[in-house]
Chain A
Amino acid sequence: MFPASFDFYRAHSAEEAVSLLGEHGADSRILAGGQSLIPAMRYRLAQPTVLVDINQMQAANYITEENGELRIGATVRDSDLEFSDLIRTNYQLMSDVSDVVADPIVRFRGTLIGSLCHNDPSGDWPAAMLAARAKMIIQNKDGKRVVNADEFIVDSFTTAVEEGEMAVETIWPTPSKNTGASYQKIERKVGDYATAAAAVQLELNEDGTVKEAGIGITAVSYVALRVAEGEALLRGQKVTRNLIKAVAAEASKMADPIADGRGSAEYKKEVVGVLVAKGIMQSLERLGRKVEA
């Protein structure tokens, strides 16, 4: 099938985009990579009457590291992150995700901010956003505001971005040198939605105890979830096998997956815990640390 008919506008600035969105209301959508929107339109499950294309917004194409933060604009593609030396050396979690999000071809078009705004319950970037404690800057006709990850993720396919608004920048804190991270994803084939996935970022103290922990899980509920209970268990502790088991159990407890072709609810619930465990173990390994018995 092919999409129902729609009008097409090209915005050259965020102000222009926001103005168009405000003018055309709820049936207008931003078109960036289009890698989620266009398939929905082809099935006619989405029938926006207006598309506002931002691909020509040159000013939105930036990856800037400054003042302990990474700032990324609205037209930055997954592949820009995948092939960036800066990301690979300083932002391990982002680097892991950018290797496995969607598929290698989609990554040349799909954008980081687009994925976050789409907020698919099985999306990789939302889970990473939670674990990394990232933020989003949202712009409307009155100005901008900053929203943190927990508040940004509202519901399936629903974020804090309201009608007439556009997400213009995402901010990811620069991890310290004592931070290890890992993204663990299982998928049936490249390009499939995750069967389950876990984003883990651990900052250690000098003595090897956990200073801060970020754990995000996805594809196991109506949105990506932050395993706050698991993070709390880790804080201040040396990481032992038993502790890892307990944290994994917290992740499984939070998970409320639906059964589908990827697996039964029981399997997904159990395996997301395994992935959190593997994420913790790989994060430590990457710091040259061992898990205590």
Chain B
Amino acid sequence: MKLNYDGQEQINADYDAVWAFINNPEKVAKCLPDVEKLEITGDKSFTAHVKVGVGPVRGRFKFDVGLEPDAENNKMNVNLRGGGLGTAIDLTAGANIAQQQEQTQLDWQGEAVVRGPAATVGARVLDRKARELITHVFAEVKRNIDEEQA
């Protein structure tokens, strides 16, 4: 099951501040919701144990996240692989970062592939929840950078 999402955040900070934030695994990890346990595994990677719920469907997932900065193209690529409940999730996301006057715009898009029982049994529900979660993550990125700047 393939899920596609995209969105945009306007951040009240300049390009460098945004770039520094999203290259920092510890800071990015804090933007995930319901993190129960966090391990920073490298200067561009972390493992997060996350609790996810949709109505009665609740479970624990473990995600390995890798950040791949592409400074030349003003882009940050993110790879997420994880699973839980017998399900495997692969997410590739990218964010284009562009400074516009005093603000920096983050254009993000992601594609998630879900495999396993959750993909079929939970399909009708996953799409909406996943969109919610991903949107939440990028909103948190914005909120955190905005706060840092304030």
Contacts and interface: CB of A to CB of B under 8 A. Distances in A.
Interface of A: 26-27, 29, 36-37, 40, 43-48, 118-119, 121-122, 155-158, 222, 258, 260
B99 to A, nearest CB: 36
Interface of B: 53-59, 85-86, 117-118, 121-125, 127-129
Contacts of B58: 27, 45-48
Given A44-B59, A45-B85, A156-B128, A260 B123 contact: yes
A29 B53 CA distance: 13
B59 A47 contact: yes
Given A48-B58, A118-B56, A260-B124, 16 more contacts: A27-B58, A37-B56, A40-B56, A43-B117, A45-B57, A45-B85, A45-B117, A45-B121, A45-B122, A48-B56, A121-B125, A157-B54, A157-B55, A258-B123, A258-B127, A260-B123
B59 A156 contact: no
Contacts, number: 54
A48 B59 CA distance: 10
Contact of B55 (A43, A44, A158, A260): A158
B49 to A, nearest CB: 15
A121 B125 CA distance: 8
12 contacts: A29-B56, A40-B57, A44-B59, A44-B85, A45-B122, A46-B56, A46-B58, A48-B58, A118-B55, A156-B128, A157-B55, A258-B127
Nearest to B118: A45
B56 A222 contact: no
Given A43-B117, A45-B118, A122 B124 contact: yes
Residue picked from A27, A37, A40, most chain B C-beta under 10 Å: A40
A31 to B, nearest CB: 11
Nearest to B57: A45
B124 A36 contact: no
A45 B124 contact: no
A260 B118 CA distance: 14
Nearest to A219: B124
Given A27-B58, A37-B56, A158-B55, A121 B124 contact: yes
A46 B52 CA distance: 11
A48 B85 CA distance: 14
B56 A156 contact: no
A157 B58 CA distance: 12
A260 B129 CA distance: 17
A121 to B, nearest CB: 6
B103 to A, nearest CB: 31
